[in-house]
């Protein structure tokens, strides 16, 4: 009993001391400073409104002060061709771009952007990445590069010519100075196209002054959205690729410092961005061909355009020789294309 009374007395004193300490020195909760990222997209402000801004706005809203992403448009922080190095060095934290135009030093970069006839429709891109192994190949390739993490790929619009003068035959392409992507330009130079590299925002003025004859950079939706339909007069309905392949990337150190739940949130917002582009482009391409009033449409006969497609498959053979990984990707594209052709409509027509 004596021991019990002593225990109760001591416990009471201890409780009083703790209580007094709690009252005299309340705990101070300090909010952790939010994680800050700077993300630059390949797209100018007018286009960026549709291809990324809404998803970043959603991320910032749901992150609820734990993380904030500042969005910058084409060339605002660094030129597009320097995006990769700037991200790798930590000058910027993340990028939305194709591999090709930001000069990613990996062999898969030629397949980013517009790889000639690599896709026919926008849905081909997620299927190739999620079902046919391109995701794992991209992860492998960027795993060999220091301090850059590839996160996700999605599809954009098809690749068409918008020009000042009409394209009615393949010969009309000869000598045309065109703003385009590196690999697309490399391929189309076989038909006399002269690829020109300029800052994105300088393109409309370059067309007006005659420095450029047009663009081979997008579908008709972008032509109207970014103002190229205001300075070009014609749109060629034949395309050299059914969908642009673009990706999200992050500086590896910065990505690894993001808590798991915010990484998941960012991945969900990337998926939201991919989904938005699917319907925005697909619907826009059809609507503006029918209802658009700024660009006159021209179409080359299938037999003539097949010369371009045949040349593309020769181009594939050249790319396949550049590395074992490139050969693997080309074989995937061949197998996928053959399967889609056998499946018939609506997967492939003709």
105-143 tens-digit pLDDT: 999 999 999 999 999 999 999 999 999 999 999 999 999
Q: What is the number of other CB atoms lying within 10 angstroms of the CB of residue 66? A: 16
Residue 350: how many CA atoms within 13 Å on its side-chain side?
A: 4
Position 3 in a domain: no
User: Count of domains in the chain?
Assistant: 2
- Our CA angle for 273, 275, 279, nearest 5°, is 120
Within-domain flag for 64 = yes
* Domain CATH for 307: 3.40.190.170
List the 177-180 sheet strands across, edge first: 194-196, 177-180, 214-218, 160-163, 234-236, 296-298
- Report if residue 311 sits inside a domain: yes
Domain boundary among 258, 276, 291: 291
Residue 32 is predicted with a pLDDT of: 73
Q: From first to last of its 350 residues, what are the pLDDT tens digits of the chain?
A: 444 445 444 545 444 444 444 444 444 444 578 999 999 999 999 999 999 999 999 999 999 999 999 999 999 999 999 999 999 999 999 999 999 999 999 999 999 999 999 999 999 999 999 999 999 999 999 999 999 999 999 999 999 999 999 999 999 999 999 999 999 999 999 999 999 999 999 999 999 999 999 999 999 999 999 999 999 999 999 999 999 999 999 999 999 999 999 999 999 999 999 999 999 999 999 999 999 999 999 999 999 999 999 999 999 999 999 999 999 999 999 999 999 999 999 999 87
Residue 350 lies in a domain: no
- Burial state string for 273-285 with b = 16 or more CB within 10 A and e = fewer than 16: bbebbbebbbebb
284 plus 309 within the same structural domain: no
Same domain, 55 and 168: no
- Residue after which a domain boundary falls, among 274, 291, 308: 291
Read off the pTM. 0.89
Single residue among 258, 275, 291 that ends a domain in this structure:
291
Residues 66 and 173 in one domain: no
Residue range of the domain that includes 165: 160-241+294-343
Whether 125 and 264 share a structural domain: yes
Among positive and negative, which fits the CA dihedral 10, 15, 18, 19? negative
**Residue 159, token pair as written in the block:** 């690749």
Are both 134 and 259 inside the same structural domain? yes
Q: Are residues 137 and 228 in the same domain?
A: no
If asked whether residues 54 and 101 sit together in one domain, one would say yes
Residue 229 lies in a domain: yes
pLDDT of residue 85: 98
User: Do the domain assignments include residue 263?
Assistant: yes
Residue 62's beta-bridge partner residues? none
For residues 64 and 184, membership in a common domain is answered with no
Does residue 130 sit in the same domain as residue 175?
no
- Residue 87 and residue 98 in one domain: yes
User: What is the structure's pLDDT at 82?
Assistant: 96
Tokens 């053959």 locate to 338
Determine, yes or no, domain membership for 16: no
216 and 305: one domain? yes
In this structure, are 221 and 299 located in the same domain? yes
Residue 336 located in a structural domain: yes
């Amino acid at each position: 009993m004596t021991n019990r009374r002593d225990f109760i007395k001591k416990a009471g004193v201890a409780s009083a001391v703790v209580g007094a300490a709690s009252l005299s020195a309340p705990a101070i909760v300090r909010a952790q400073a939010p994680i800050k990222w700077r993300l630059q997209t390949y797209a100018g402000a007018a286009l960026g409104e549709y291809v990324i801004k809404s998803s970043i706005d959603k991320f910032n809203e749901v992150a609820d002060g734990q993380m904030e992403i500042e969005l910058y448009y084409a060339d605002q922080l660094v030129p597009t061709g320097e995006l990769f190095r700037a991200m790798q060095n930590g000058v910027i934290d993340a990028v939305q771009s194709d591999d090709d135009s930001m000069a990613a030093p990996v062999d898969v970069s030629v397949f980013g952007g517009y790889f000639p006839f690599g896709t026919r429709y926008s849905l081909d891109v997620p299927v190739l990445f999620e079902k046919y192994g391109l995701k794992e190949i991209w992860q492998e390739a960027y795993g060999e590069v220091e301090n850059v993490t590839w996160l996700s790929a999605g599809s954009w619009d098809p690749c068409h010519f918008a020009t000042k003068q009409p394209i009615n035959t393949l010969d009309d392409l000869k000598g045309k100075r065109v703003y385009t992507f590196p690999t697309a330009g490399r391929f189309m130079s076989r038909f006399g196209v002269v690829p020109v590299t300029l800052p994105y925002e300088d393109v409309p003025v370059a067309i007006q002054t005659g420095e450029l004859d047009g663009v081979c950079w997008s579908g008709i939706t972008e032509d109207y959205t970014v103002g190229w339909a205001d300075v070009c007069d014609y749109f060629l309905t034949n395309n050299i690729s059914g969908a642009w392949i673009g990706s999200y990337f992050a500086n590896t150190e910065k990505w690894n410092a993001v808590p798991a739940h915010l990484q998941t949130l960012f991945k969900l917002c990337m998926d939201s961005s991919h989904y938005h582009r699917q319907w925005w482009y697909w619907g826009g391409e059809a609507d503006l061909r029918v209802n658009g009033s700024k660009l006159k449409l021209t179409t080359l006969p299938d037999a003539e355009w097949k010369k371009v497609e045949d040349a593309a498959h020769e181009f594939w053979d050249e790319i396949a020789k550049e590395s074992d990984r490139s050969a693997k990707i080309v074989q995937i594209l061949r197998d996928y294309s053959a399967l889609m052709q056998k499946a018939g409509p609506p997967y492939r027509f003709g």
